[in-house]
């Protein structure tokens, strides 16, 4: 995907080294835009292998509004292992605190909770929401089916009242759907972008969500667009991603979902990618 590679190259060429809360400096640029036409293939990076099983199981985790880290672990998904709700363990990047954070299961009112229960009072991962709430995802799907020309189909994970209770405030904090000429387009907003490790996952996750919403509404798949804010490469990723950049991109895979009934009944194993032939995986250390 040229759009992704162009973003990485821009950071390597023009990024300013700055400190951040993780304690690991990063080369950073202000603002970038990712754009991909789904007709060109499913946007799963080919210059390194991206574990799509982890991408799609995390997406199901969000769609279902789950906030229990153990659910992901049961799916052999380690994406959220390092974090927990600050209600349980206040954030810190020293080794003792990181170990405590990893041992807890409570993530707080993160992405999926906000997608499905915005405005409700959050108590715990195993407790139902309290008070009135808005199921933003259900509302979006209903609008998509009844009024696809609507320009207000937006889902937000950014709830300022709950940020202090989240394991991690949303990096990708909102997405919008717009239908043009019978094609469903998805546009997401992201405040903080780890270009080496996180962005390939974000692209594939929203690409999969676009695919599912298009199936839900019987529409063709259009464009996937990301509006990116603080876009960075951690300094301990620079040498490795520079090696990745010299790899020749390969043909993109195709995405396929069997037995689809509804996005709300979807299980991540229903969706696969076909003809995925990436270069070998590359390990990047995560900055907690």
**Pairing between strand 271-274 and 183-194?**
unpaired
Residue 1: the pLDDT is 84
pLDDT band at 283, cuts 50/70/90? Answer: confident
Q: Is the model's pLDDT at 115 over the cut of 80?
A: yes
CB atoms within 10 A of CB 163: 14
Which letter, b or e, does each residue of 186-212 get, where b requires 16 or more Cβ atoms within 10 Å of its Cβ?
bbbbbebbbbbbbbbbbbbbbbbbbbb
Average pLDDT over residues 77-95: 93
**Percent of residues, the chain, with pLDDT higher than 90:** 95
* CA dihedral sign of residues 206, 210, 215, 220: negative
Whether residue 166 contacts residue 85, with contact meaning beta carbons closer than 8 Å, is answered with: yes
Cα–Cα–Cα angle for 151, 171, 149, nearest 5°?
10
Residue 287: the pLDDT is 79
Whether residue 137 contacts residue 155, with contact meaning beta carbons closer than 8 Å, is answered with: yes
Q: Largest alpha-carbon pair distance within the chain?
A: 54
**Pairing between strand 154-156 and 172-180?**
antiparallel
Which residues form the catalytic set? 171
pLDDT single digits (tens) 138-197: 999 999 999 999 999 999 999 999 999 999 999 999 999 999 999 999 999 999 999 999
Mean pLDDT, all residues of the chain: 96
Q: Is the model's pLDDT at 288 over the cut of 90?
A: no
Average pLDDT over residues 262-275: 98
DSSP assignment of 70-136 equals: HHHHHTT--TTTT---TTTS----SHHHHHHHHH--B--S-HHHHHHHBTSBP--TTS--BS--B-H
Q: Characterise 131 by phi-psi region: left (phi > 0), alpha (psi -120 to 50), beta (else).
A: left
User: Tokens in use for 51?
Assistant: 């574990």
CB atoms within 10 A of CB 33: 13
Residue 93: the pLDDT is 84
Average pLDDT over residues 219-228: 98
Whether residue 185 contacts residue 179, with contact meaning beta carbons closer than 8 Å, is answered with: yes
Residue 222: the pLDDT is 98
pTM over 0.85: yes
Q: Is the model's pLDDT at 9 over the cut of 90?
A: yes
Q: Where is 7: in which H helix or E strand? A: helix 2-14
Identify which of 172, 174, 164 has the alpha carbon closest to the alpha carbon of residue 109. 164
């Amino acid at each position: 995907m040229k759009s992704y590679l162009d973003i990485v190259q821009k950071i390597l060429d023009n990024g300013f080294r700055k400190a951040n809360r993780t304690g690991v400096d990063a080369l950073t640029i202000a603002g970038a835009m990712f754009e991909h036409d789904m007709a060109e293939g499913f946007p799963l990076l080919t210059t390194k292998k991206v574990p799509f099983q982890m991408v799609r199981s995390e997406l199901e985790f969000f769609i279902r509004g789950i906030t229990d880290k153990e659910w992901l672990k049961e799916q052999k998904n380690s994406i959220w292992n390092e974090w927990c709700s600050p209600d349980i363990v206040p954030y810190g990047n020293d080794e003792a605190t990181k170990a405590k954070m990893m041992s807890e299961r409570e993530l707080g009112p993160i992405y999926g909770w906000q997608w499905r229960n915005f405005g409700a009072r959050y108590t715990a991962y195993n407790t139902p929401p309290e008070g009135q709430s808005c199921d933003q995802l259900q509302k979006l799907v209903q609008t998509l089916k009844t009024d696809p020309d609507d320009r207000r189909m937006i889902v937000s994970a950014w709830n300022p009242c709950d940020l202090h209770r989240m394991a991690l405030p949303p990096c990708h904090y909102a997405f919008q759907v717009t239908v043009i000429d019978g094609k469903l387009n998805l546009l997401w907003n992201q405040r903080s972008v780890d270009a080496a490790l996180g962005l390939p996952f974000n692209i594939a996750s929203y690409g999969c969500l676009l695919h599912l919403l298009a199936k839900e509404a019987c529409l063709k798949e259009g464009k996937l667009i990301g509006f990116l804010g603080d876009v960075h490469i951690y300094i301990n990723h620079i040498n490795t991603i520079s090696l990745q950049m010299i790899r020749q991109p390969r043909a993109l895979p195709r995405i396929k979902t069997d037995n689809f009934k509804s996005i709300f009944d979807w299980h991540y194993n229903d969706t696969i990618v076909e003809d995925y032939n990436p270069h070998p995986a590359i390990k990047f250390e995560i900055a907690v």
